[in-house]
Amino acid sequence: DSNAPISVDPFRTVAREMKFLTKNIRQLLGSGHPTLDTVAKYYTQSEGKYVRPMLVLLMSRATALTPKLRRETSTYSVNRPITSSEILTDDNPSAPDHSLTSIAHDAAYNQEESDILPSQRRLAEITELIHTASLLHDDVIDHSQSRRSAPSANIEFGNKMAVLAGDFLLGRASVALARLRDPEVTELLATVIANLVEGEFMQLKNTARDERNPVWTEDTVSYYLQKTYLKSASLISKSCRAAAILGQNTPEVVEAAYLYGKNLGLAFQLVDDMLDYTISGEELGKPAGADLELGLATAPLLFAWKDNKSLGRLVGRKFSGEGDVQRAREIVSESTGLEQTRALAQEYVDKAIQAISGFPESDAKDGLIEMCTKVMKRRK
């Protein structure tokens, strides 16, 4: 019953862990170059929502009591084919780095009575690093002015430093990942980085064929959903999967964790796309209505387009014509696009909850369910 009161605050369930998160992340980002140090740590000053690390910690805790696997039965194989989107480097990962203390010797990773493993806590930090790196790059691509109610890094430090800081975060995330000494988890998070770029590339075009006067088809929505998976749900789903793997869980539990993250991630972005139409910039902490201005056709508009074919021309020219943005906004508001977006998000949230229904009852499981409710209720 979705109307039943839920008393668990997901943040409180893992609050003790979260306290160390920002501190540890800042430690991972130390650089001997004072300017790089400042730029790299810039987005750690303003409190983010920490959705991804919170999900990793909750998933770690929720799968702590599920049946465990013996390591040798892992299905991971080094001979798995590598897709063209995966990048291999020959850097030496063993070079010493004082800023990356071993998690085994760090007090913050060895709290007593915790059912979260040090490696899972580190994974939570890695997900936030990758996310923050993508934001640094995203703000350059989107010509953003503000993020988290402050000037965005590209404005504060310029494009060059923002891009390099993002690269630096990815580098440090990769080192921390390698130190987990779990090749399957490394592969998952490396794939996420490639997926983020693939999603961002798909977003550069509103439709697969990128015509001047595109016609609405069912493919229009599946293209959007694929892009949304890559850009938003990949990090959440694969990091939930990685958390379950680090906890030595069975393939069934690992898959359930992944499905939870995938469906929640899709819902999360659908709601994000909806808020861009419905919430003021002041409340969002970043400019509202930005998607149309950037030429992006997201779910509310795609659903409106199905019933109002005149939107095709506007989509084709990325709302660059005189009055296009205003016209598109009107058509969306007169359509059921926003309701359909919300309904689809709710479907995904229901699937996310269904995915973990077999997990043993725990506060953490309640927290994962509460995250779903929060995603649907959120206003920023």
- Residues interacting with Mg ion, by CB under 5 A? 138, 142
293 touches ligand FPP (CB under 6 A): no
363 touches ligand FPP (CB under 6 A): no
Which distant-in-sequence residues (6+ apart) come within 8 Å of 316 by Cβ? 211, 212, 213, 214
Dihedral (CA of 310, 315, 321, 326) sign: positive
Residues in a beta bridge with 150? 147
Q: Which of 143, 131, 284, 141 is nearest to 203 (CA)?
A: 141
Q: Give the nearer residue to Mg ion in terms of CB position, either 165 or 364.
A: 165
Shortest Å distance, C-beta 42 to Mg ion: 16
166 touches ligand FPP (CB under 6 A): yes
Q: Give the nearer residue to Mg ion in terms of CB position, either 147 or 238.
A: 147
198 touches ligand FPP (CB under 6 A): no
The H-or-E segment that residue 150 falls in is strand 150-151
Q: Give the nearer residue to ligand FPP in terms of CB position, either 29 or 196.
A: 196
Shortest Å distance, C-beta 5 to ligand FPP: 31
Shortest Å distance, C-beta 214 to ligand FPP: 21
DSSP 312-380: HHHHHTTT-STTHHHHHHHHHHHSSHHHHHHHHHHHHHHHHHHHTTTSPP-HHHHHHHHHHHHHHH---
Number of H helices, E strands in the chain: 18, 2
Q: Which of 226, 256, 230 is nearest to 241 (CA)?
A: 256
Q: Which partner in Mg ion, ligand FPP, none is near 286 (CB below 5 to 8 A by kind)? A: ligand FPP
Q: Which partner in Mg ion, ligand FPP, none is near 134 (CB below 5 to 8 A by kind)? A: ligand FPP
301 touches ligand FPP (CB under 6 A): no
Q: Where are the beta strands (DSSP E) in 28-101?
A: none
Site size toward ligand FPP (CB under 6 A) is: 17
Give residues in contact with ligand FPP (CB under 6 A): 130, 133-134, 137-138, 141-142, 144, 166, 170, 193, 196-197, 200, 231-232, 286
